[in-house]
Amino acid sequence: MQRERKQKAPTRLWFWLFWALATLIIISGITATTLVFVPNNYQETQQVNTKTSDFEISLQKNQINRLAKHFLSQYQNKQTKLQFVITDEALLTGTVKILGQNINAGITFKPTVTKAGNINLKASSMAVGSLNLPVSLVLAVLKQTYSLPNWVHVNAKSESILFDLNALKLSNGLTIHAKTIDIDNDKFVFEGGIK
């Protein structure tokens, strides 16, 4: 009789551990699905001044990379390290600390200029460690995890990031918008003005 009771106790423990794990997996799946399909509540602001700009700025890849490094340094912390580099494509890479482990992640983008002079980065591929996760899922997590400025809009549904330059507040009333982005010819042209 006692032998029969001792054999049931380990079985009962594994039974409850199985159901706890199954519940955790289901809750994680529901949370990830919810994050992917949460709508974005932003609209791209329109270019304020359609007259000829007061000045034009032409940059090259190395200058854009230095600007990105300076900007991202303001958003780094001990758990995350981000880097944005333009080579033959736009690449956002980073290391994220999850459960005490550093995980490498990377997303490649194709940048385009919108009609309003903003920059749209359309994700073309992505990898987290050795996993190939859906871009929409990773962008949804990125949106929830990072405190981004109000002029950076992450849209997981369309798998893109919009830099709304018309909403960017610069000192002394300066405004800026993109005119040309041509990675192949190393040409990045921006127009600016003073309000």
Classify residue 23: in a domain, yes or no.
no
User: Which structural domain range is residue 172 located in?
Assistant: 50-194
Classify residue 36: in a domain, yes or no.
no
> CA 157, CA 136: separation in Å to the nearest integer?
6
Residue 21: pLDDT above 70?
Answer: yes
Mean residue pLDDT across the chain: 79
DSSP3 helix / strand / coil % (the chain, rounded to 5): 35, 35, 30
Classify residue 4: in a domain, yes or no.
no
- N-terminal to C-terminal alpha carbon distance within the chain: 89
Q: Please indicate whether residue 112 or residue 37 has the higher confidence score (pLDDT).
A: 112
Per residue in 161-192, pLDDT (tens digit) is 999 988 887 777 788 889 999 999 999 999 88
pTM: 0.69
Classify residue 165: in a domain, yes or no.
yes
- What pLDDT, on a 0 to 100 scale, did the predictor assign at position 60? 92
Q: List Cβ<8 Å contacts ≥24 apart for 85-88.
A: 86/61, 86/183, 87/61, 88/183, 88/184
Domain count, the chain: 1
Classify residue 145: in a domain, yes or no.
yes
Lowest-confidence region among 38-42, 60-64, 102-106, 178-182? 38-42
Classify residue 91: in a domain, yes or no.
yes
Q: How confident is the model at residue 47 (pLDDT cuts 50, 70, 90)?
A: low
Whole-angstrom CA distances from 56 to 8, 18, 115, 175, 178 are 78, 63, 17, 11, 10
Classify residue 12: in a domain, yes or no.
no
Mean pLDDT of 43-58: 67
Classify residue 78: in a domain, yes or no.
yes
Per residue in 130-168, pLDDT (tens digit) is 777 778 877 777 777 777 778 888 888 898 999 998 888
